Amino acid sequence: MEALMYPIGKFAAEPHPAEEHRQEWIKDIAQMPGILRSTVQSLTAEQLLVPYRPGGWNVRQIVHHLADNDMNAYIRFKRALTEETPTASSYRQAEWAELSDTNDTPIEISIQLMEALHQRFVLLLRKLSPEQFERTVISPAYGEMTLHEAAQRYAWHGRHHIGQIQSLIERMGWQ
């Protein structure tokens, strides 16, 4: 079950990130919406409703969750850049995944939202200094973290959920 939940492995932070690490995370963040789009573009409406693992979210829920998470992440970064160690708001992602906008909204809307948001987020990230990446935010789930760690988590999060979808597609022979 763990391999289904974490097809790319669990998150492990780079403890001493260098400029090349930051550039790799920013590249991952920039490319994520396009990779997601190409991963789900040929799936049928029925396939979008298949959970990536027993008891897990379906593909539609994962796509909308990524958009929800990305909006929250962007706000976390902006708050960390403009406030002293703000406490990020949390959200009940499991409950959000059950709301009508997740069930009734075409995934294309969330993909378009991510494309626009990632463009803006990447413009912000590319201009941050190494000192700005040392600013901190308090995550209700993970405690105090630098924007270095937050960027790593954010880049990993997109790869993680796309990996879940790709793993499902491969297991089901939908390619």
73 found inside a domain: yes
Domain harbouring 133, CATH code: 1.20.120.450
Q: Tens of pLDDT along 59-104? A: 999 999 999 999 999 999 999 999 999 999 888 999 999 999 999 9
Q: Tens of pLDDT along 97-133? A: 999 999 999 999 999 999 999 999 999 999 999 999 9
13 found inside a domain: no
Average pLDDT of the chain, as a whole number: 96
**161 annotated ligand binder:** yes
Q: How confident is the model at residue 27 (pLDDT cuts 50, 70, 90)?
A: very high
81 found inside a domain: yes
95 found inside a domain: yes
Query: Nearest to residue 163, comparing CAs of 30, 44, 1, 3?
Result: 3
**16 annotated ligand binder:** no
Contacts of 76 (CB under 8 A, 6+ apart): 88, 137, 139, 150
Residue 175 scores a pLDDT above 90: no
Q: Judge whether 175 and 122 are in contact, CB under 8 Å.
A: no
68 found inside a domain: yes
Burial of 77 (0-12, 13-18, 19+ CB in 10 A): buried
46 found inside a domain: no
Q: How many domains does the chain have?
A: 1
Residue ranges making up the domain that contains 98? 56-168
Q: How far apart are CA 91 and CA 95, in angstroms?
A: 9
**148 annotated ligand binder:** no
